[in-house]
Amino acid sequence: MDFSIATELYPEDYWYRSDTYLNTESELDLIQVIQQLHGSLDPRTVFACFGKTLGQHLPVKGVQLTLDKQKFVWGRHYGIELQRTVNDMFYITYQLSVPLTPSQKQTLERLESVLVQPLNNALKYQNMSNQAMFDALTNLGNRYYYRQAIDIALARVNRRQGQVSLIVLDLDKFKQLNDVHGHKVGDFVLVGFAELINQAIRNTDQAFRIGGDEFVIITQGGSHAAANVCERIIEMMPKHAELTEYNIQCSFGVAESLPQQEVEDLYERADKAMYAAKAAGRNCYRICDK
């Protein structure tokens, strides 16, 4: 799953125009800039505010920063390229309409210096938020995130904005695996299985680990779309060495949401279908009757 982030482009009014930008240090109110940058804990918003300020005070048409798996972009992507490293932390690429004068370079350095702390704060907050939403072992969404996501999905269905199905799945005989090989091997298998799920689902689907070896997948579409996801996972499992080494199999239950259905009812229907799959011999899926 790709967690890279790109900021939205600002309107034309925010892009550099030669008759509007301020080119003297005295006209730059750093206190106001700092307050604006600290006004949000969303790193995209912080970076967009930085880009807007650059466009108002310097001949900067666009700016881009890549940090770990995140990419932040503001403005246009052509012009004279200027690359700079800020505090040995951020590698920033600027697109200029004209080369910077010495005084403008000093202004840029001042603006860069006030970006570091608010952007770091926003990135740390984002990281803490992700930790609260994602399972530490598998990096899939956790139970809390699942509850938020399924509430949103069902609300959309109730507004007649598409269909949603729920897949409940767990690994067959996982307790025996832990008892024989230990929890370290069990964790190894869970991580491999989570990677397989991410490869099998569509971009519109969401996968979660809600406890132990129990997973759920929210699929956009009816039970037929969910069945296709189950079939892909079953087909892919023999191709993953970390799963075949321990003869890992999986049982699935599918339930398509009904009008005005509660979250608990949808889950119970999918869970019941999963146990029907286990009773049918495991390593298969069953669809709940309406």
Which residues are catalytic, by number? Answer: 213
**Residue 69 DSSP symbol:** T
- Which pair of tokens denotes residue 264? 């608990």
- Contact predicate 115/86, CB 8 Å: yes
- Which pair of tokens denotes residue 258? 């009904």
Q: How far is CA 93 from CA 76, 77, 166, 191, in A?
A: 12, 10, 44, 36
CA angle 219, 221, 227 (to 5 degrees): 65
Q: How far is CA 15 from CA 46, 56, 264, 275, in A?
A: 17, 8, 49, 58
85: number of Cβ within 10 Å: 10
Annotate 162-229 with DSSP letters as a single string. --EEEEEEEETTHHHHHHHH-HHHHHHHHHHHHHHHHHHS-TT-EEEEEETTEEEEEEES-HHHHHHH
**Residue 93 DSSP symbol:** E
> What is the dihedral sign for C-alpha 92, 97, 101, 107?
negative
